[in-house]
Amino acid sequence: MAKVVMPLLSAEASGKIADTMVFFYWKGRNVVRRWVVPTNPREPEQRRIRTNLAAMGKNLKAMTTKAPAGAIVSLIRKVTPANMIWNAHFVAQTLDYIKTPANYTTLEDAFTGAPYVYTEMTLGAGTLGMDTILTGINYDKEVGPGFQLFLGAYSAYKLGLTGVTGIYTEFPTNWSSASLTSFVQDYQSA
């Protein structure tokens, strides 16, 4: 049953009316939308998209976002357009590129083809507490923590971030060992 306050003035409403409309509070506004039964398709394309989202989500989870926010969060906020949320802007940099399987493979090959980057990113991801995304009913492939962090580094490169401890304006396989280490530190420190 929906709870409605001042219905004719549209002041506030929350809940579901029959199986037709849902009222809720979202981003400071009271909104209404059509009620739909959630679905959970497990088609190959849906699983691939979920894998990509999960990999970028692991980056966001690893970042220090509580006050004071990690250095990387502060850098991302500085370059985020006014009409976007910082985390969506960060994730979009990589998701827009890897939406095609060929581009995903290109980044994966660059990651595995640079041994020192592979090692540093894998160690850094371990430090940040990132874990492997396993193949299953929701995901189409296993994604290791090092590659997840590499995807975050690709976003930093696309945004042209210049951190307090590192400069991320080059493709991640061109980063020095010091830049790779400082990238992990920027995830953790303010």
- The reply to whether omega before 68 is within 30° of 0 (cis) is yes
Name beta bridge partners: 30: 25
Q: What pTM, to 2 d.p., does this model score? A: 0.79
From CA 176, how far away is CA 8, in angstroms rounded? Answer: 62
Alpha carbon distances (Å) from 37 to 24, 40, 46, 135, 176: 16, 10, 18, 26, 50
Task: Check residues 14 and 83 and name the one with the higher pLDDT.
Answer: 83
Alpha carbon distances (Å) from 49 to 52, 100, 101, 130, 156: 5, 10, 10, 19, 21
User: Do the strands 21-26 and 3-5 form a parallel or antiparallel pair, or are they unpaired?
Assistant: unpaired
Phi, psi dihedrals of residue 172, rounded to the nearest 5°: -55, -30
Determine the average pLDDT of the residues in 163-182. 84
Determine the average pLDDT of the residues in 161-184. 84
Q: What percent of the chain has pLDDT over 90?
A: 50
How does pLDDT run across 35-59, given as a tens digit for each residue? 888 777 788 888 999 999 999 999 9
From CA 169, how far away is CA 185, in angstroms rounded? Answer: 17
